[in-house]
Structure 1
Amino acid sequence: MVDVAGSVGGVMSPVLQVGQWLAAPIWRQFKYLFNYRSNFNSLQEQVDKLKNTRDEVQHKVTAAERNVEEIKQNVKNWQEVVEKTITKAEQLIQQNANNPRCFKGLCPNFIIYYKQSKKAFKLKRDDIDPLLQQERELGPVSNPSNPREIWLRTSEDYLTFESRNSTMKNVWAALNDESVFMIGVYGMGGLGKTTLVQEIGRKAEKEKLFEEIVFVEVSESPDIKKLQTTIADKLKLKFENESEMANKLYSRMEKKNILLILDNIWKPVELDKMVGIPCGADRGRNKLLFTTRNVDVLEKMGSTKNFGMGFLKDDEAWTLFTEMAGNCDNVNIKKLKQLLHEKNLNFKI
């Protein structure tokens, strides 16, 4: 009898094992139907939570955009996936609400319930839960941006004059000449030197001639520390103390491709030693563009390509005047022009 029992036990053990193997997947499939309502309730709760999280992230994004900051790409990607997932979940929830019933509505369609319950469970587990976890790992939604300076934006006020075209072409050719480092534009005050170099800067940015373009007004009595600080701010460079300003600025610009426009220089400035602008072998592809009233200033600073600006022609000066006058009555402008000629006034800009 013992041998028979042992024999039967030996036969039943594999059978029970097979039964256990079959029971596990059967139960996993049956639980989708058994947990039908709880799966959809859980899905709805997580969708609501994901919506709230999405709105919180969007508030941060909106605040960052108003502060002209750059939104991180991983945040944008997360927002895009969240919107698609919410839409997908809401469609499934709506389908569930509109489920057809068998036998003229007397009982539910268990096959559809099973399929939808399985989708709801997996959508929550595989899509929504990971998105909520990813949100905790996003960190700050933005990085500080480097907004374009106002003068670099397209200028509708710039007027092209024949007498200025040659200067524009000469300066532009010098900017494209790798052997030229310093370029100067000189002439009396009010001739439009600043306007011309700013237009050249806009063109250089449009054609991606330089990695960065910096414009700084120097003034009649330059403050070296203020000049250093202004250049550093535009290059997003931070100083811990004033003693390191020149060295750190030098390292920031060393062997780079930067156009530095120094406007309205009145006297020579030691750019490398005092300010910290590389002027020797370390200058790389950097270019310096100056404007000044006195060509001697350019020559003393070592500028080799200097271009003078003269007066506008009479018709060009008048065109500029009428453009600047704006909404003035045309009749009055004509009378003013006639008066200027009658008085033999030298109308130059």
Structure 2
Amino acid sequence: MAKEIITAIIPTIIDHTVRPLARQVSYVIFYKSNLKDLRSRLKNFDAAKQRMNHAVEEVERKVNQKVEACVRNWQTEADEISREAEALLDDEGHAKTKCLYICPNLISYHQLSRKSTKLVRKIEEHENKKEFASISYNAAVEDISAIASDEYMAFESRTSMVKDIITELKKPDINKIGVYGLGGVGKTTLAKEVYREAMEEKLFDDVV
């Protein structure tokens, strides 16, 4: 009976003593390889962050596109993880310095190795989150047609100019019309009025 009881509790003893102890010892044994793995993961992670930054910058260059909030959050958290990993790798240098005086510095090695293992998992989990359905969305275009009234009062004499531009826009062989002049003469106001007219006449599906 006693033998059976001992046999039954041995796996529990192993789970609660031997395995945890072996895991803690492995942090010291695999100290160098764990830090090396972290450096490698961080390098790849920085490349993934850079690709995401490029995609976000491309979106920001588009007038009617906005970056999704979840993407911004991913970038912020990614930067925090990178700083945490870089700080840990800096601590590795301090541990080596201490080792010159107290060697081997097993406590520092154990802590750094354990933290680096956790950070590697953290990086992997966060990198897996970057597969978004979309990183941007179509923002509502500001309706500037109502702005034209006050500004356009000073420029009623140029109504014919707006009509000429609208007439040209209706021609299928015209794909570009330039408006030029000195600063302050009203080019922007003219463009806004052309916008309003084009929207009213429904010349195009989309007008910016």
The answer to whether TM tops 0.5 is: yes
Of 135, 147, 150, the match for 1:141: 135
Q: Does 2:19 match 1:39? A: no
**What is the deviation of 1:61?**
1.0
**What is the deviation of 1:37?**
1.1
Select the structure of larger CA radius of gyration: 1
* More strand, by proportion: 1
Residue 59 (structure 1) aligns with: 54
Of 85, 88, 91, the match for 1:92: 88
Aligned residues: 173
Letter in 1 for 2:67: I
Residue 216 (structure 1) aligns with: 196
- How far apart are the structure 2 equivalents of 1:36 and 1:56? 31
**What is the deviation of 1:19?**
3.9
Matches within 5 A, 1:1-349: 9-10=3-4, 12-14=6-8, 16-21=10-15, 22-68=17-63, 69-99=65-95, 100-102=97-99, 105=101, 107-125=103-121, 127-135=122-130, 137-148=131-142, 158=151, 190=157, 216-217=196-197, 227-230=201-204, 232-234=205-207
Q: SS where residue 148 of structure 1 aligns? A: coil
**What is the deviation of 1:150?**
6.5
RMSD value, Cα: 3.8
11 and 65 in structure 1: CA distance in 2 versus 1, 3 angstrom threshold: closer
Structure 2 length-normalised TM: 0.67
- How far apart are the structure 2 equivalents of 1:154 and 1:101? 71
**What is the deviation of 1:149?**
5.9
- Larger RCO: 1 or 2 (CA < 8 Å, sep 6+): 2
- How far apart are the structure 1 equivalents of 2:22 and 2:48? 34
Post-superposition CA distance 1:248-294 (Å, at most 9, x none): xxxxxxxxxxxxxxxxxxxxxxxxxxxxxxxxxxxxxxxxxxxxxxx
- How far apart are the structure 2 equivalents of 1:217 and 1:11? 91
Residue 262 (structure 1) aligns with: none
Letter in 2 for 1:143: Y
86 and 64 in structure 1: CA distance in 2 versus 1, 3 angstrom threshold: same
**What is the deviation of 1:154?**
10
Structure 1 length-normalised TM: 0.42
**What is the deviation of 1:147?**
3.9
Q: SS where residue 143 of structure 1 aligns? A: strand
**What is the deviation of 1:48?**
0.6
